[in-house]
Amino acid sequence: MKGQATIDALLRDFDASKPRALARAISLSESGLGAPLISALYARAGRATTIGLTGPPGVGKSTLSAALVRKARTLGKKVGVISVDPSSPFTHGALLGDRIRLTEHFTDADVFIRSMASRGHLGGLAGATADAALLMDAFGFDVVLIETVGAGQSEVEIAELAQTTIVALQPGSGDSVQVLKAGIMEIADVFVVNKSDHPMANQLRREIRSMIEIAAYGAWVPELVATQALTGDGIDELWAAIERHAVYLNESGEIERRRREAFAHQVRHIAAGRIGDLVERALDADASIDGDPYAAAARVLRSLGIRE
Ligand SMILES: Nc1nc2c(ncn2[C@@H]2O[C@H](COP(=O)(O)OP(=O)(O)OP(=O)(O)O)[C@@H](O)[C@H]2O)c(=O)[nH]1
Ligand SMILES: [Mg+2]
């Protein structure tokens, strides 16, 4: 990065809708250099529909993503896909499996696929994902789909970003109930039972249905849709559920509350990341082990101008 001139050139290419500029902008923000780009482009974002898609490994998230992209394209919508893999050391471009699943969209200029496996970003992986989603939104994508694996903290964080969160589960996996218990229940706006061709699919649907019934939801009660991502069965129903949720968000004003929360969440991450970096640097400079850890921490904070 050679400073302002490089940023200006990149912004010009971004304005000219060159996909390479979007790719480069995402790479820069992944490596912690995205602040000037985000500052320049932030005002343009806020138009895209952001959809989070999460669930255990192998449930069919990437296949569902491909099917949702296909559906969105038939409606003439431009789609950005972010595939988040916290365990992968690879960045730049889709992961191998996703490459295969999403190949049909590779030559479509109105589809942009990107995988994230970032360290080094001030706000961690969730921060890097937030930046990528924002950049895709500012670039002009109508839909930004964020696919993330697992049942830990990362997808709960990523759900903070998305307007609508889809939780996909598969029949006969045994981990579904456990997944529901691990806090996934709260983040789902739409549940998907994928692989509905499986003999245990109806049982899983009943299980989820009864969990929804006993849970204390607010004004929006999660919808439940059965899909076969491979054949496209149920994808129209899933899209309709996503649209109903979007209508609910807008009519209830919940969309604004979610935007504010997502904003605060990002600010918190960025600020905490900065402070963490400063503390690291102060520790490197002051390697003495005098006094107790609390006294040393107070000394580090004082050196940063922070008084408790
Ligand atoms: N029978 C059946 N298989 C499916 C269906 N959808 C996806 N699969 C298969 O399930 C396997 C996993 O699909 P992926 O889309 O890679 O799942 P994923 O959740 O993205 O997996 P990770 O990214 O590794 O967590 C693949 O072999 C798919 O072909 C379905 O509706 N029915
Ligand atoms: Mg996948």
End-to-end CA distance of the chain: 37
- C-alpha 198 – ligand 1 centre gap (Å): 12
How far is ligand 2, taken at its centre, from the CA of residue 27, in Å?
21
Greatest alpha-carbon span in the chain: 66
The CA distances from residue 120 to 155, 265, 279, 303, in Å, are 19, 18, 16, 24
Residue 153 pLDDT: 62
User: How would residue 92 be classed by pLDDT, with cut points 50, 70 and 90?
Assistant: very low
Q: Which residue's alpha carbon is at the smallest distance from atom 10 of ligand 1?
A: 60
Tell me how far the alpha carbon of residue 119 lies from the centroid of ligand 2, in angstroms: 20
Ligand 1 midpoint to CA 74 (Å): 22
Q: Which atom of ligand 1 is least distant from the CA of 168?
A: 19
Q: Please determine, for residue 89, whether its predicted confidence score (pLDDT) is greater than 50.
A: no
**Higher-confidence position of 146 and 156:** 146
Condensed to tens digits (0 to 9), the pLDDT of residues 35-54 reads: 999 999 999 999 999 999 98
CB within 6 Å of ligand 1 — which residues?
57-63, 97, 101, 149, 194-195, 197, 228-230
CB 3 within 8 A of CB 37: no
The protein residue whose alpha carbon is closest to atom 8 in ligand 1 is: 60
- Whose CA is closest to atom 9 on ligand 1? 60
Tokens of 116: 């994230």
pLDDT of residue 181: 63
| pTM of the model as a whole | 0.88
HEC per residue, 179-245: HHHHHHHHHCCEEEECCCCCCCHHHHHHHHHHHHHHCCCCCCCCEEEECECCCCECHHHHHHHHHHH
Tokens of 89: 């050391």
Nearest residue by C-alpha to atom 32 in ligand 1? 195
Q: Is 293 exposed, middle or buried (0-12, 13-18, 19+ CB in 10 A)?
A: exposed
Judge contact between 40 and 154, C-beta under 8 A. no
Q: By mean pLDDT, which of 41-55, 176-190, 254-268, 289-303 is the weakest? A: 176-190
Angle value at C-alpha 182, between 168 and 69, nearest 5 degrees: 20
Closest CA to 78 of 48, 54, 57: 48
Q: What separation in Å is there between the alpha carbon of 235 and the centre of ligand 2?
A: 17
| Residues 44 and 77 sit within 8 Å (Cβ to Cβ) | no
Per-residue model confidence (pLDDT) at position 90: 43
Q: What are 127-149's pLDDT values in tens digits? A: 888 999 999 999 999 999 999 87
- Residues, Cβ < 5 Å to ion ligand 2: 61-62
Q: In this structure, what token pair is assigned to residue 14?
A: 């971004």
* Ligand 1 mutation pick, 63, 65, 85, 173, max ligand atoms within 8 A of CB: 63
Distance 95 CA to ligand 1 centre (A): 14
DSSP code for 56: S
Q: What gap in Å lies between CA 113 and CA 90, rounded to an integer?
A: 14
Q: Which residue has the tokens 């739409």?
A: 190
